[in-house]
């Protein structure tokens, strides 16, 4: 799953995850994170969010990697406000952001040339 995701084949990763879902052992957070990140890398934020919801529906708890992938997906889709919303959702769920989480939000605003928002996020 991770290999497909890292090589830009998010749908291939999703296919393997579907197979895991059908298997008796079931998928884990790492498998879902690979698929979420694969779609996020392509800027397919809606698809990444869909897999995030499926992960929660499977009874798995999203972690900082899960949320940061969503944040990055929104940033790459030129939706820094969406990235900021996911950042705040992560914090509300008690998941501590890391440097990559902050960086993804900052990059989203920077892509649009919003230097004021970049400066605000740099101060956080």
Domain boundaries along the sequence of the chain: 2-123
> pLDDT tens across 45-91, in order?
999 999 999 999 999 999 999 999 999 999 999 999 999 999 999 99
> What is the model's pLDDT at position 24?
64
pTM above 0.75, yes or no: yes
Cα 59 to Cα 69: distance, rounded to the nearest angstrom:
19
Percent of the chain's residues with pLDDT above 70: 99
Class of domain 2-123: mainly alpha
**Do 48 and 18 form a contact (C-beta atoms < 8 A)?**
no
Q: How far apart are CA 60 and CA 7, in angstroms?
A: 25
Would you say 45 and 79 are in contact if contact means Cβ atoms under 8 Å apart? yes
CA 17 from centre of chain: 16
């Amino acid at each position: 799953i991770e290999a497909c995701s890292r090589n830009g084949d998010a749908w291939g990763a999703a296919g393997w995850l579907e197979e895991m879902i059908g298997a008796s052992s079931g998928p884990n957070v790492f498998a879902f994170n690979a698929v979420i990140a694969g779609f996020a890398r392509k800027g397919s934020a809606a698809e990444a969010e869909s897999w995030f919801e499926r992960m929660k529906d499977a009874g798995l708890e999203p972690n900082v990697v899960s949320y940061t992938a969503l944040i990055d997906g929104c940033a790459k889709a030129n939706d820094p406000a969406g990235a900021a919303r996911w950042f705040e959702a992560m914090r509300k769920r008690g998941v501590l952001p890391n440097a990559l989480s902050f960086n993804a939000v900052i990059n989203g605003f920077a892509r649009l040339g919003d230097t004021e928002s970049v400066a605000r996020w740099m101060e956080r």
